[in-house]
Amino acid sequence: MNKLINTSKQTPSISQSSVSLSVLQAEVQLATQTQNAVLFQSNKSTGLLLSVLESLMDGVLLLTDKGKLVNANNYALQICHQFMQDRSSTTQVPQQIWRICEALIDSRDHYPDRIVTIEDEIDIGKTSVIRIRARWVEIEDANRPYLLVMLEDRSQSLKDAVIAEARKYNLTPREAEVWLLRRANCTYKAIAAELHIAIDTVKKHVKSINAKRDAFLWANE
């Protein structure tokens, strides 16, 4: 069972969500991202390492415990660019991300023998929510472990999921728009306002979507 520990003293109030310290079992750490991260340990070629980074779906940063950027894929750099409003940072990554890393560094003294992940979600503007996950990773031939930071644009992930579901359930373009907003927990009223349609029309679309989903599930039981 995962143990959640309050790290409010270690983390800044950079969003409404609080950073939580999760002590996890090694075999479930970061799911498939951890499996990909293991490749860092055996890849001595910088070119191969870059290829691995670019193949990952999420943004990936590899940092020293001093905040120096060792490597990153293009997606991570794009996300970092969205954060870089404050140029006063003394590190090579945005402060919002580095503060998560600082919490991980602080946790090393308290839990030296455990695999620890720090994660948080931060809003960027009105449309993007970035999920940040930081953990230690051992690199072959390195004198000390590096910080592995995974960046996920939750809004983009949701869009990708809805696109896949729209194809799976054979949704119309309008149904896909409604489903995207519904999956984002928007109310019927909010969906109607966003799409400039009547609330009753939204309800009809949702009913049609649910019917198509049910038909797909029944056909594939």
Tens digit of pLDDT for each residue in 183-193?
A: 888 899 999 99
Q: What's the domain range around 8?
A: 3-153
CATH code, domain carrying 208: 1.10.10
191 and 124 part of one domain: no
Q: Which pair of tokens denotes residue 135? A: 């953990």
Q: Are 191 and 198 in contact (CB under 8 A)?
A: no
At 83 the three-state DSSP class reads helix
Q: Which pair of tokens denotes residue 2? A: 């995962």
30 and 131 part of one domain: yes
72 and 126 part of one domain: yes
Domain count, the chain: 2
Q: Looking at the predicted structure, is the pLDDT value of residue 28 above 50?
A: no
* pLDDT tens profile 50-61: 455 544 567 899
Residue 161 belongs to a domain: no
176 and 140 part of one domain: no
CATH code, domain carrying 41: 3.30.450.20
Q: Looking at the predicted structure, is the pLDDT value of residue 206 above 90?
A: yes
**Which whole number is the average pLDDT over 148-176?**
90
Compare 58 and 169 and report the one with higher pLDDT.
169
23 and 105 part of one domain: yes
Instruction: Specify whether the backbone of 220 is left (phi greater than 0), alpha (psi in -120 to 50) or beta.
Output: alpha
138 and 42 part of one domain: yes
* Whole-number pLDDT of residue 88: 53
Grade residue 17 by pLDDT with cuts at 50, 70 and 90.
very low
Residue 165 belongs to a domain: no
Out of 105, 128, 153, pick the residue that ends a domain: 153
Residue 48 belongs to a domain: yes
Q: Looking at the predicted structure, is the pLDDT value of residue 124 above 80?
A: no
What is the phi/psi pair of residue 213, to 5°? Answer: -65, -45
122 and 203 part of one domain: no
Residue 160 belongs to a domain: no
Out of 100, 126, 153, pick the residue that ends a domain: 153
Mean pLDDT of the chain, nearest integer: 74
In which residue are the tokens 């992940």 written?
A: 117
149 and 174 part of one domain: no
Q: Which pair of tokens denotes residue 43? A: 């890849």
191 burial via Cβ count (<10 Å: 0-12, 13-18, 19+)? buried
* Whole-number pLDDT of residue 26: 30
Out of 100, 123, 153, pick the residue that ends a domain: 153
- In whole angstroms, what is the distance from residue 61 CA to residue 45 CA? 17
131 and 203 part of one domain: no
Residue 80 belongs to a domain: yes
Grade residue 33 by pLDDT with cuts at 50, 70 and 90.
very low
* Whole-number pLDDT of residue 153: 85
- In whole angstroms, what is the distance from residue 93 CA to residue 104 CA? 15
Q: How far is CA 131 from CA 13, 113, 123, in A?
A: 15, 26, 9
Grade residue 10 by pLDDT with cuts at 50, 70 and 90.
very low
Residue 129 belongs to a domain: yes
Q: Looking at the predicted structure, is the pLDDT value of residue 39 above 70?
A: no
61 and 144 part of one domain: yes
Residue 163 belongs to a domain: no
pTM value is 0.58
Residue 29 belongs to a domain: yes
Compare 83 and 163 and report the one with higher pLDDT.
163
181 and 83 part of one domain: no
The DSSP letter of residue 24 is -
**Which whole number is the average pLDDT over 60-70?**
90
48 and 100 part of one domain: yes
Grade residue 221 by pLDDT with cuts at 50, 70 and 90.
confident
Grade residue 159 by pLDDT with cuts at 50, 70 and 90.
confident
